[in-house]
């Protein structure tokens, strides 16, 4: 890895860590809450959103399903389902889209469209999860 790439990854890690500390989840998510990241492996914004979502999922202890438009995983998530075959994601064509799903209500209860910056993305997803957990 060349020094420039290494510096970029370190900066990204620093920003992600700082954003995670600024936007804590109020509590661990219940077993009824999950998140679906809809994107593609070639999408630069999806590649930026995925590690942040991973941090949030570890902090809040909720599952993340990656629905990939090109049927390839989006790191750091090693697994995915093709978005065209998933009933909740097959019609989504702009990326990334993050869906918050409640199994107790059996529906998508929130949606974050796009990715502006790490702080905005993490705050948007955390706020949706906190709203679901509060009822």
Q: Give residue 88's domain range.
A: 3-134
Q: What would the two tokens of residue 38 be?
A: 């809809």
Domain CATH for 72: 3.40.30.10
Higher pLDDT among residues 46 and 29, named by residue: 46
Distance CA 53, CA 131 (A): 17
Question: What is the b/e burial string over 100-123, where b = at least 16 CB atoms within 10 angstroms of the residue's CB?
Answer: bbbeeeeeeebebeebeebeebbe
pTM of the complete model: 0.81
Q: Please say if the pLDDT value at position 123 is more than 90.
A: yes
By the 8 A CB rule, do 16 and 51 touch? yes
Number of structural domains in the chain: 1
Q: Tally Cβ neighbours within 10 Å of residue 135.
A: 5
């Amino acid at each position: 890895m060349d020094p420039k790439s290494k510096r970029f990854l370190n900066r990204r890690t620093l920003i992600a860590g700082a954003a995670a500390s600024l936007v804590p989840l109020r509590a661990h998510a219940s077993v009824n809450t999950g998140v679906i990241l809809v994107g593609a492996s070639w999408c630069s914004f999806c590649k930026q959103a995925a590690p942040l979502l991973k941090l949030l999922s570890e902090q809040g202890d909720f599952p993340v399903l990656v629905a990939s438009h090109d049927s390839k995983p989006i790191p750091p998530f090693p697994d995915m389902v093709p978005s065209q075959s998933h009933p909740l994601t097959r019609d989504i064509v702009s990326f990334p889209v993050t869906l918050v799903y409640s199994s107790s209500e059996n529906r998508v209860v929130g949606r974050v469209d796009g990715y502006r910056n790490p702080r905005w993305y993490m705050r948007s997803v955390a706020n949706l999860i906190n709203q679901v957990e509060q009822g």
